[in-house]
Structure 1
Amino acid sequence: MAKYDKADVERRMAGAVESLKGDLSGLRTGRANTTLLDPVMVEVYGSMMPLNQVATVSAPEPRMLSVQVWDKSNVLAVEKGIAHSNLGLNPMIDGQTLRLPLPDLTEERRKELAKLAGTYAEKAKIAIRNVRRDANEALKDDEKKKEISEDERKKLEDEVQKLTDQYVADADKATEAKEKEILTQ
């Protein structure tokens, strides 16, 4: 078993929150957001590549995304990648540019997206609690090996719990903000 490492515990918990923020940024609200297309993969040059490696995404209007494809031969591949991404967007080709009008979200779809945000948050919290469990096991191991005293272990377990509470609160705050953004358009 590994020794307890506070920096590693913080790094892993922060990673779970960052991953959550990435997942949340992919949830569509009523406004155009260039991060909406971050998960889109495009088949070009015989392999799958992220959209942002073959085109520039911008939001010229509040309800429109614009995708400027760098290589004209990839325009149809980019259109196909966006159409198959389950984002509910219908690209319109205009030369080497694809225009993506964002349809209004129905109340039902908003509720689904808010629920999905909650699911993402729960996954992040589970990841944070798993890091806490690993850290506490490492502390018990260190105590068994007589590397730390029982009092020191308890003090460090309290420290791990405080970190856990802090990162769970960060995850909740990010999720609440996204749910509010989704539900109030």
Structure 2
Amino acid sequence: MIADIKKNAEAKMGQSIAAFKNNLAKIRTGRASPGLLDSVQVEYYGSMVPLSQVANVSLLDSRTLSVQPWEKGMGAKIEKAIRESDLGLNPASMGDLIRVPLPPMSEERRKEMTKLARNEGEAAKVAVRNLRRDANEAVKKLVKDKQASEDDQKRAEADIQKVTDRHIAEIDTLVTSKEQEIMAV
């Protein structure tokens, strides 16, 4: 029972970190990264789909992305979707290929991005702490229902706290490395 609660809490904390890493990948740094366009949605036969489902996104160089549509008529729609996204990018069409140059970030914009990374980190920590609280409440319920002893509860809560601390330290490490990546000119 208690082992299941601990295992479940650890798995959910791992999922929270995976979601956090995904959110961090969307935050722009000074370098180009194909993951930057993951959030862009393109209209495709009347429905909105992720850019990665209608085109191949790759790096041309450290400051330029290339988008290769899989269908001839999609170029204009993809260009429009990238332009209208809140990324501040201005794609240029060259035949079938769409080049997306990344403008250099100003110092102010870099600071905004580090703030955004910190906020994402805080949200991830809150999610991990909520999972800790839920796990502790589940253990308390077992004790209340006389399915576990109070000693088991204390041990379980200590184990859950260790797992929580480890995940929060991982989040802090990820935020710090992302901040360094953003501030690198």
The yes-or-no answer on 1:51 pairing with 2:51 is yes
- Of stretches 101-110 and 11-20 in structure 1, the one that deviates more from structure 2 is 11-20
Q: What letter matches 1:139 in structure 2?
A: V
Give the secondary structure class of the aligned counterpart of 1:58.
strand
1:98 — aligned with what?
Answer: 98
Q: What letter matches 1:13 in structure 2?
A: M
- Measure the CA separation in 1 of the matches of 2:78 and 2:126: 35
Deviation at 1:43, TM superposition (A): 0.9
2:117 — aligned with what?
Answer: 117
Give the secondary structure class of the aligned counterpart of 1:66.
strand
Give the secondary structure class of the aligned counterpart of 1:5.
helix
- Measure the CA separation in 2 of the matches of 1:3 and 1:166: 18
- Measure the CA separation in 2 of the matches of 1:4 and 1:85: 43
Inter-CA distance 3–163: structure 2 relative to 1 (3 Å threshold): closer
Query: Does the 8 Å contact 1:70/1:96 carry over to 2?
Result: no
Deviation at 1:10, TM superposition (A): 0.9
Q: What letter matches 2:78 in structure 1?
A: V
Aligned alpha-carbon RMSD (Å): 1.3
Q: What letter matches 1:79 in structure 2?
A: E
Deviating beyond 4 angstroms after TM superposition, the runs of 4 or more aligned structure 1 residues are none
1:8 — aligned with what?
Answer: 8
Which structure 2 segments of 5+ residues have no match?
A: none
Q: Deviations over 1:2-55 (max 9, x none)?
A: 995222111110111111111111111111111111111111111010100000
Report 1:32-111 matches (<5 A).
32-111=32-111
Q: What letter matches 1:178 in structure 2?
A: K
Q: What letter matches 2:60 in structure 1?
A: P
Which structure 1 segments of 5+ residues have no match?
A: none
1:134 — aligned with what?
Answer: 134
Give the secondary structure class of the aligned counterpart of 2:110.
helix
Q: What letter matches 1:129 in structure 2?
A: R
- Measure the CA separation in 2 of the matches of 1:3 and 1:42: 45
Give the secondary structure class of the aligned counterpart of 2:160.
helix
TM-score, reference length from structure 2: 0.96
Q: What letter matches 1:123 in structure 2?
A: A
Give the secondary structure class of the aligned counterpart of 1:124.
helix
Q: Deviations over 1:104-148 (max 9, x none)?
A: 100000000000000000000000000000000000000011111
